[in-house]
Chain A
């Protein structure tokens, strides 16, 4: 019940295209869903996060869509750029904080020029 399942494992998109990464969870107690972005040789960094009281959150070209009934959430990257090439992790936690975040296994995104 503590798992967060992320797909796909890898994704190749052309510049200007839309990148979509999906995550699913079982534990209905999860109430905080962040996405982290990791460039090679660096630590992950928070990209965008959502709480279950909203169905969508947008920050620039990045959008989280959240479906509480299906227990799924996804990251959409519009107008994907080569600089977006990185590994993306979804995560979830209880009580809305960073304590004991459960991470998905990651998606390696490659945006071709």
Chain B
């Protein structure tokens, strides 16, 4: 009964480094999402996917890339990390529109770029 699992939980990057945040879900959800959360700013959608092989940009996609090769996995790639990408990142999944709107979130990945 794992739900949505994110790794790593914490990471410190230097400016210009790259990394991948991993996300996997075991609920067979079609829809998956990446959000970032900054203090006092709520949750901003970075990218989302409605199924394997299909991804689309959210509100704040610049500096990030995603892929969706399987239903279970939705990794988020940060290229050339910048201090502005210091944030807490949440992966989420859902059945999608028309099947109830509940998002199931992971516990987050806290990223610091120095």
> Interface on A for B, CB 8 Å cutoff?
6, 9, 32, 34, 36, 41-46, 49, 89, 93, 95-101, 103-106
CA distance A99 to B103 in the complex (A): 9
- For the complex, is B53 an interface residue (Cβ under 8 Å from A)? no
CA distance A41 to B107 in the complex (A): 7
Given contacts A96-B101, A97-B99, contact A106 B90 (CB under 8 A): no
CB distance from B54 to the nearest CB of A (A): 12
Count residues of B near A (Cβ-Cβ below 8 Å). Answer: 28
Contact assessment for A95 and B42 in the assembled complex, using a CB-CB cutoff below 8 Å: no
B92 to chain A: which residues have CB within 8 Å?
Answer: 43
Q: Which of A43, A45, A95 is most buried by chain B, counting CB atoms within 10 A of its CB? A: A43
- For the complex, is B12 an interface residue (Cβ under 8 Å from A)? no
B96 to chain A: which residues have CB within 8 Å?
Answer: 97-99
A106 to chain B: which residues have CB within 8 Å?
Answer: 40, 42
Chain A minimum-CB-distance residue to B4: A43
Chain B minimum-CB-distance residue to A10: B40
A32 to chain B: which residues have CB within 8 Å?
Answer: 101
> Interface on B for A, CB 8 Å cutoff?
4, 31, 33, 40-45, 48, 50, 58, 90, 92, 94-103, 105-108
Contact assessment for A103 and B48 in the assembled complex, using a CB-CB cutoff below 8 Å: no
Contact assessment for A99 and B106 in the assembled complex, using a CB-CB cutoff below 8 Å: no
Contact assessment for B43 and A97 in the assembled complex, using a CB-CB cutoff below 8 Å: no
CB distance from B100 to the nearest CB of A (A): 8
CA distance A8 to B93 in the complex (A): 28
Question: What 6 pairs across the A-B complex have the smallest Cβ distances?
Answer: A97-B97, A43-B105, A98-B94, A105-B42, A98-B101, A103-B43
CA distance A93 to B50 in the complex (A): 16
